[in-house]
Structure 1
Amino acid sequence: MHFYRKQGIPFHYNINLPIVGSFKSVKEYQKEYNPTNHPFIGWIKHHYFPNEEESKVPPFVGLLLGSKLRLMVNRPEIVEEMLITQNKYYDKHPGTAGIIDFVVGKSILFAESDLQWQQKRKVISSALYKDRLRGMIETIKNVAIQAIQQDWLLQKDQNGIQLEIVKIMQNLYMQVTLSCFFGHSLEVNPIVDQLVQGEHKKMRLGEAMQNTFELAMGRAHQPLLIVFRELIPFFITRRDRELKYNAQSMRTFIRNLINERRKAQESQATGGNVEYKDLLSILLSDPNFENDDAIVDECLTFFLAGSMTTASTTANTICYLIQNRETERKLRESLKQNFDNFADSSKTLQDLASEITLETLDLRGDEYLKYCFNESLRIEPPVPFSSSTCMTEEVTLGGNTLKKGEGFFHNCYQLHHNLDQWGPTHDRYIPERFDPAHIHEYPKRHPMSFLPFSGGKRVCVGKTFAEIAFKIVMPLVMKAFNKDGRIGEFVDKEHCTKKPHINGLQLKRSKIIINFNG
């Protein structure tokens, strides 16, 4: 720590509790302010640059996670050096998965960038080639229409159509992921068994994934495990035991998927008519995935990254449209211009879906919808800070020397809110900031000031799929729910001005219920 403090990198910690490090201060901040975002984000700003208007955000700030030193990267110039200029030294930290390793295993998301990682990444990327995306578009449309017509609209009662936005989006995108990459039937929305406060509860897969991940994130912040890392393999508390049971339940579900697919492939080999070309079949036939555990690890990671992050982005977009009437008006007008069947009340969701193809998304895809997508990713990134990474050699970045193997995080939330990059309106939802026609109205920003999908050799393989899925789901939802140009309203009126954060790293999710206009 003194090595970095001598270089001017600030640290905040209680020197009387060196084993606990920054944790005590973070917990005190959490208790006082009750943040809906991950507590690290607000705590860092509160202690290191509370008056950003008066002082530039430091490139690095230091954390002590128990006895582990970590640096948080806040400036895009440093990120560029890491991901571009000195990318050959950039890698995942060996302990990056940490406590959630029990949930996602040894997937490529957390693996070091060795030859096996490269080979596995190439195999998984092949499931997202353009010819495969074309077929996925039809699947996404069918899943979305089925969810709207056979689930959401049927929940109308005397109070209207009141739906918990994050919950329905998690279940929708989980079904999208299952159907597109694992050949799962559109007619079956999987139910898995979960332990919640000591009681067994049947949950849809999307909810179960969120529930399990929230337990894992909570465990990552247990004081006992931060101080005594040797206890991580042991599940001591009730919540720990629930996490263990729930994670095993998820893995059992995926193993059953694998066994069902093997039987189907055996049937195909003996004259059956079913042929699969999805991710699961690719994994089963590739020697890089030598055992079922390796396949389960990648599937769980795909569920996590492919459904939870896109779900939070879509949920956030709908919430911001409700908060910003003019933005919703502009988006509806733009969709009307690009899709003839969008505004015509005599046309069905199926009619609108028939206009949405890979070609129309490429050639006349709605630009304002893309601006909304980017602005949602910016203002509330689905992953507010990266997993732990490192440089494999000692390097100098921005005038600071980083030791070989020192762990650090990218503070994506701060990168997306730096005043000198985004201006004084950084905390407002303004899709136009991504419109080239309005670029002169905002500060000139560094390319790495917008980092929702990471970058360089570790860029998210599902980036294009996430954007396509969003561009399909949003027009269908907005057509289905429309009264006088409004998609709906918050049941809790406080959310009109103060919406809880929605992202993939929340320790506890706040419920946001929307009364949809259907």
Structure 2
Amino acid sequence: MLLPVVVAVTIAFVLWKYFSREQNELAKLPGPPRLPIVGSAITFLGLSPEETFKRITALPNEYGGRVVLTAFGRYILHTYNVEDIEIVLSHSRNIKKGMAYSFMEPWLGTGLLISTGNKWHRRRKILTPAFHFDILKSFLKVFEEQSKSLVEGLRQLNKGGTDVVDVIPFISDYMLYAICETAMGIKLDSDTSETKIEYKKAILDIGSIVMQRLTTIYLHNDIIFNLHPLGRRFAKCLDKVHSFADNVIMERKKAYGTEQNGGSKRRLALLDLLLEAERKGEIDLEGIREEVNTFMFEGHDTTAIALSFGIMLLADHEEVQERIFEECQSLLSDSDGGISMSDLGEMKYLEAVIKEILRLYPSVPFIGREVVEDFMLDDIRVKKGSEVVVHIYDVQRRPDLYPDPEAFKPERFLESDSRHPYAFVPFSAGPRNCIGQRFAKMEMKCVLSEIVRNFRLAPLTPGARATLKTDIVLRCVDPIHVRFIPR
């Protein structure tokens, strides 16, 4: 009996919303065909994640730099213009994330990624010191150790008779170890424990479920979603990721108390800052859970996927590998004390390589904002209650900004940069830019430099590229297989 009532109430609300809405200026902009009431929601109905990605990235070719989709009285502006992107991302009050993020709230709570207003400002203030230069410097040894361990893992595979690696799950393991040891202050056992496997699988499932929900309009309602098989699967995934994160918190909490009492010198982890804030009454245990879940996901998954796409590209470009190798050899050949921050700073070519990887494959290809205050885009008023989706993936492949945009050319970022400052935003920009971007780039430099110094990479199929699909981060349909040949 409950489901028909919920459906009826939902339909009544949608009809009221549709017929009582004021004229929205976004209605003037082009977009897919809009049917009465449902709008253009039917555009993505029944499409696979791969088909959805193709459809979304085809929109600017069909309709131009501003595309509007509608659904049950909601207006969603998709923008591919750098000038629009600057206005949207630099706005000091329109910092509320779009609807897709609300579907992740049961998982991440209203932590730094999702929160808005005063709560977001308070959390950003608590967490910013965790990414200070001196703290990042103390993490360098962990990055170096994990990079060497990763290389040793590749050597063991070679001894086992194979040089072909399924890159994404392999890299993901080491990124999970690194985020646990740096940001969380605990050392994760480098085995194939069931909890680690379940945690990573649950995150993959959550991303898939969130995107299915986003493109299935009737599942936007919480009650219907929770009753649906997809909602029940989502709940099981939540149990696994929350249990893993809670264990991390409890383990660090015990160690933190011991270290505080013993007065031992220790590396300051992000989780330590949260525990100290809890002691001062600035955050509660639920708040700590929110931030730990957020950083466990963002700190390992986004970097792992960026590195995986980067390894795919390097494998197909031997000349780029050799330039990285030569740069690293010239900086590190006489070094017996390990890599230093100044060494990383001098890796100018590798820096350009990482930027070009993130240009072609930004870990977060689209970001959304819910408009809380009217603003203007030229002569068009974007009204409160509308949503804006910024297409990072597409703007970074625009041929007018990046000639030969599909080609992997790190030298683009060695030349004097005359591009618009919002033409390259893989870490977002403005007040909600990624707090961990320096952390991520340091980690990527350590891993890629260590791999290239020890292996030559080769593709299984020269020129092959991953087929992409929609998810909460950029993912591919099939595995990425690369050969790692010892130097």
Q: Assess, with a 3 A threshold, how the Cα gap between structure 1 residues 368 and 230 changes in structure 2: closer, same or farther.
A: same
Secondary structure, counterpart of 2:203 in structure 1 = helix
Q: Is the 8 A contact 1:144 1:473 kept in 2?
A: yes
Post-superposition offset of 1:477 = 1.0
Alignment partners' CA distance in 1, 2:67 and 2:435: 29
Post-superposition offset of 1:371 = 0.8
Q: Assess, with a 3 A threshold, how the Cα gap between structure 1 residues 360 and 333 changes in structure 2: closer, same or farther.
A: closer
Give 5+ residue unaligned stretches, structure 2.
1-21
Secondary structure, counterpart of 1:135 in structure 2 = helix
> Is structure 2 residue 465 aligned with structure 1 residue 498?
yes
Equivalent residue letter for 2:350: L
Tell me what 1:420 maps to.
400
Secondary structure, counterpart of 1:210 in structure 2 = helix
Equivalent residue letter for 2:467: P
Alignment partners' CA distance in 1, 2:214 and 2:435: 26
Q: Assess, with a 3 A threshold, how the Cα gap between structure 1 residues 382 and 140 changes in structure 2: closer, same or farther.
A: same
Aligned counterparts, 1:50-69, within 5 A: 50=62, 58-65=64-71, 68-69=74-75
Aligned counterparts, 1:108-257, within 5 A: 108-112=112-116, 114-149=117-152, 151-156=153-158, 160-185=162-187, 187-188=189-190, 191-193=193-195, 203=197, 205-226=199-220, 228=221, 230-232=223-225, 234-237=226-229, 239-257=230-248
Tell me what 1:358 maps to.
341
Post-superposition offset of 1:170 = 1.4
Q: Assess, with a 3 A threshold, how the Cα gap between structure 1 residues 212 and 45 changes in structure 2: closer, same or farther.
A: closer
Q: Is the 8 A contact 1:381 1:452 kept in 2?
A: yes
Equivalent residue letter for 1:137: L
Q: Assess, with a 3 A threshold, how the Cα gap between structure 1 residues 212 and 83 changes in structure 2: closer, same or farther.
A: closer
1:447 to 417, 421, 424: 421
Alignment partners' CA distance in 2, 1:257 and 1:22: 43
Q: Assess, with a 3 A threshold, how the Cα gap between structure 1 residues 65 and 292 changes in structure 2: closer, same or farther.
A: farther
1:25 to 43, 57, 69: 43
Equivalent residue letter for 1:426: P
Q: Is the 8 A contact 2:458 2:484 kept in 1?
A: yes
1:370 to 335, 343, 351: 351
1:379 to 341, 349, 360: 360
Equivalent residue letter for 2:473: L
Q: Is the 8 A contact 1:143 1:186 kept in 2?
A: no
Moved more, 266-275 or 463-472: 266-275
1:72 to 78, 85, 88: 78
Moved more, 445-454 or 154-163: 154-163
Secondary structure, counterpart of 1:422 in structure 2 = coil
Tell me what 1:294 maps to.
287
Q: Is the 8 A contact 1:80 1:448 kept in 2?
A: yes
Alignment partners' CA distance in 1, 2:147 and 2:475: 28
Q: Is the 8 A contact 1:190 1:205 kept in 2?
A: no
Tell me what 1:308 maps to.
301
Q: Assess, with a 3 A threshold, how the Cα gap between structure 1 residues 65 and 328 changes in structure 2: closer, same or farther.
A: farther
> Is structure 2 residue 456 aligned with structure 1 residue 473?
no
Superposition TM-score, scaled by structure 2 size: 0.86
Equivalent residue letter for 2:413: F
Q: Is the 8 A contact 1:174 1:307 kept in 2?
A: yes
Alignment partners' CA distance in 1, 2:466 and 2:100: 31
Q: Percent identity?
A: 20
Equivalent residue letter for 1:242: R
Alignment partners' CA distance in 1, 2:427 and 2:340: 24
Tell me what 1:512 maps to.
480
Alignment partners' CA distance in 1, 2:98 and 2:210: 19
Alignment partners' CA distance in 2, 1:468 and 1:93: 27
Alignment partners' CA distance in 2, 1:242 and 1:274: 44
Post-superposition offset of 1:2 = 5.6
Q: Is the 8 A contact 1:390 1:406 kept in 2?
A: yes
Alignment partners' CA distance in 1, 2:373 and 2:476: 37
Aligned counterparts, 1:379-418, within 5 A: 379-386=360-367, 388-418=368-398
Q: Is the 8 A contact 1:134 1:358 kept in 2?
A: yes
Tell me what 1:197 maps to.
none
Tell me what 2:254 maps to.
263
Equivalent residue letter for 1:290: I
> Is structure 2 residue 454 aligned with structure 1 residue 489?
no
Alignment partners' CA distance in 1, 2:276 and 2:107: 24
Post-superposition offset of 1:265 = 3.2
Post-superposition offset of 1:325 = 2.5
Q: Is the 8 A contact 2:458 2:483 kept in 1?
A: yes
Post-superposition offset of 1:4 = 3.1
Q: Is the 8 A contact 1:104 1:297 kept in 2?
A: yes
1:102-134 CA distance string (max 9 Å, x none): 22111111111x233212112111111111111
Secondary structure, counterpart of 1:146 in structure 2 = helix
Tell me what 1:345 maps to.
none
Q: Assess, with a 3 A threshold, how the Cα gap between structure 1 residues 95 and 27 changes in structure 2: closer, same or farther.
A: closer
Tell me what 1:107 maps to.
111
Q: Is the 8 A contact 1:421 1:449 kept in 2?
A: yes
Q: Is the 8 A contact 1:22 1:64 kept in 2?
A: yes
Post-superposition offset of 1:72 = 1.0
Post-superposition offset of 1:183 = 1.3
Secondary structure, counterpart of 2:31 in structure 1 = coil
Q: Assess, with a 3 A threshold, how the Cα gap between structure 1 residues 506 and 241 changes in structure 2: closer, same or farther.
A: farther
Give 5+ residue unaligned stretches, structure 1.
51-56, 194-201, 342-350
Q: Indicate the RMSD between aligned Cα atoms, in angstroms.
A: 2.8
Post-superposition offset of 1:207 = 4.8
Alignment partners' CA distance in 2, 1:44 and 1:210: 21
Secondary structure, counterpart of 1:253 in structure 2 = helix
Q: Assess, with a 3 A threshold, how the Cα gap between structure 1 residues 507 and 372 changes in structure 2: closer, same or farther.
A: closer
Alignment partners' CA distance in 2, 1:504 and 1:355: 36
1:4 to 20, 25, 31: 25
1:431-456 CA distance string (max 9 Å, x none): 1111126x6xxxx4211111111111
Q: Assess, with a 3 A threshold, how the Cα gap between structure 1 residues 66 and 497 changes in structure 2: closer, same or farther.
A: farther
Post-superposition offset of 1:222 = 3.6
Post-superposition offset of 1:272 = 7.4
